[in-house]
Amino acid sequence: MTEPTRDDWAPGFFTPLYARMYRGPLFDADGTEREVAFLASRFADCDGPVLDVGCGFGRHAVPLRKRGHRVVGTDRFAHLLREQPARGRRAVAADMRTLPFADGAFAGLYCVFNTFGYFEHRDNQRVLREWARVVRPGGRLVLQAPHRPVMADIVREHEPSQTFMGGATMSEEYAYDGRRRAMLGRGVWQTSAGEQSWNFELRLYAADELEKELARAGWQVIECHGDYDETDFDDEESAHVVFVAQRKG
């Protein structure tokens, strides 16, 4: 596999066709419902707005708003934000490393769907500190991320594949770079609306490592799950970790 470069891969991945794929053939209705239910339960007692970091077209923000939560979305790509329904939309185009919000502006924040780890380690640390800055003391964080030891093995064993679904085709292959501790992916989406080649690089963290980084940034982990169904996290079996943390202060 030819490795993706460290150039900015995101604009070539998060395109209008990305939104079309994940709102259509790749949309997981059951998974989305579980994720939304988990988020709704963790922010049920939040007295203030909640920030969705990397909200995209609003897969979580929109149903949470329908449940009565005050969700503000932020995403780097304005064209994805415009995919959200105009009515009730509260969304701001911004880079998660430099959020355009006042200190303590939010009662909670969530970042899910493998949205953490886009950058080099120092910038990822900066992201966690920036989240702590915009969430008031005592506020809540939900963070989902791959668990490196297990995910790295899964990626190493993943053979190149092609999937046909709903009039679309997805070809994909993955690799793990141990030196950079990164999952590398590349593939092609083909639909009636067009074709897109893509690649990405995601910095992976072991759960205990990420918990320490959260603590350094001002967060205290209060829950740790292996999935949104609240299964116990297993260091040797869980491919993902779902943290619930509280802003120190």
**pLDDT per position as a tens digit, 209-219:** 999 999 999 99
Across the chain, mean pLDDT equals: 96
221 has pLDDT over 70: yes
Token code pair at residue 231: 């299964």
Residue 136: pLDDT band (50, 70, 90) is very high
pLDDT of residue 1: 37
Note the Cα 133 to chain centre separation in Å.
Answer: 19
Name the band, by pLDDT with cuts 50, 70 and 90, for residue 4: very low
pLDDT-based confidence at residue 7 (cuts at 50, 70, 90): confident
Q: Is 110 exposed, middle or buried (0-12, 13-18, 19+ CB in 10 A)?
A: buried
Instruction: Give percent of the chain with pLDDT exceeding 90.
Output: 96
The whole-number pLDDT of residue 170 equals 97
190: pLDDT strictly greater than 60 = yes
**HSE-up of 219 (CA within 13 Å, CB side)?**
31
The predicted model gives 100-126 an average pLDDT of 98
Beta strands in the chain (DSSP E): 50-53, 71-75, 91-93, 106-111, 135-146, 161-165, 168-177, 182-191, 194-203, 219-225, 240-247
Q: How many residues does the chain have?
A: 249
pLDDT of residue 93: 98
Specify the amino acid at residue 160.
P
Nearest CA-CA partner of 133 in 141, 145, 142? 141
Which strands, in side-by-side order, build the sheet including 50-53? 91-93, 71-75, 50-53, 106-111, 135-146, 240-247, 219-225
Chain segment 32-88, per-residue pLDDT in tens:
999 999 999 999 999 999 999 999 999 999 999 999 999 999 999 999 999 999 999
pTM (predicted TM-score): 0.95
Question: In terms of CATH, what superfamily is 10-146+205-247?
Answer: Vaccinia Virus protein VP39 (3.40.50.150)
Give dist(CA 37, CA 67) in Å, integer.
10
Residue 6 has a pLDDT of 57
Residue type at 195 in one-letter notation: E
Q: What are phi and psi of 162, to 5 degrees?
A: -135, 130
| pLDDT tens readout for residues 160-180 | 999 999 899 999 999 999 999
Structure tokens at 113: 């769907």
Residue 166: its pLDDT value, please? 87
